[in-house]
Chains A and B, each alone.
Chain A
């Protein structure tokens, strides 16, 4: 994919905007935003679960906890996503 990420929205330099390229760039930005959202909430939850009284550094048990917590949070996210999707399909089928 061509270099510019933020400024040049699919313009070939001639001033004409290419919808295809715009859409691709927007999709990427949406994906980035979702990843950031996920990371932010995961960090919040795993900090709460794994860090008691904050010490001078993250000890081994805390690190192990955080690592497991990350995986479990992803599992949870996927489970919720599947369950929600199923529910939506069921609702549509009942309409």
Chain B
């Protein structure tokens, strides 16, 4: 196979490792960005009253807490779902329904 930098993307079944890595990195970055967008929107509702000349310390602290609690909520949900799945499966894999 050619050196990575010269391989054509038209090659069947072979993905340029440089592009592959790039895709992985950019995908990761986008996941981060999307969550920031989402949390900013949510936390704005909870933490902002009337927009003032600057972000006061109380509002700033609220945003930080909001982010932390959102992540906690997400983890809590995943953990509890994992536990309850063991005893009472919510997402059934059986064919009969």
Interface residues of A (CB under 8 A from B): 16-17, 19-20, 22-23, 26-27, 30, 34, 37-38, 41, 45-46, 49-50, 65, 68-69, 71-73, 75-77, 79-81, 83-85, 87-88
Interface residues of B (CB under 8 A from A): 5-6, 8-10, 16, 18-19, 22, 26, 29-30, 32-33, 35-37, 39-41, 43-44, 47-48, 50-55, 59-60, 63-64, 66-68, 71
Q: Give the nearest-CB partner of A18 in chain B.
A: B5
Q: Give the nearest-CB partner of B63 in chain A.
A: A79
Cross-chain contact A17 with B40 (CB below 8 angstroms): no
- The binding surface of chain B is classed by DSSP as helix
With beta carbons under 8 angstroms apart, the residue of A16, A46, A81 that contacts B36 is A81
Cross-chain contact A83 with B44 (CB below 8 angstroms): no
With beta carbons under 8 angstroms apart, the residue of A19, A26, A41, A72 that contacts B48 is A72
23 contacts between A and B (CB under 8 A): A16-B8, A19-B9, A19-B18, A23-B19, A30-B29, A34-B37, A37-B33, A37-B37, A38-B37, A41-B41, A45-B41, A68-B51, A68-B52, A75-B60, A76-B43, A76-B44, A76-B55, A80-B66, A80-B67, A84-B32, A84-B67, A87-B67, A87-B68
Cross-chain contact A45 with B19 (CB below 8 angstroms): no
Number of A-B residue pairs at CB separation under 8 A:
92
With a cutoff of 8 Å between Cβ atoms, the chain A residues found around residue B37 in the complex are 34, 37-38, 41, 77
Cross-chain contact B36 with A84 (CB below 8 angstroms): yes
With a cutoff of 8 Å between Cβ atoms, the chain B residues found around residue A72 in the complex are 48, 51-52, 54-55
With a cutoff of 8 Å between Cβ atoms, the chain B residues found around residue A16 in the complex are 6, 8
With beta carbons under 8 angstroms apart, the residue of B40, B53, B66 that contacts A77 is B40
Cross-chain contact A79 with B36 (CB below 8 angstroms): no
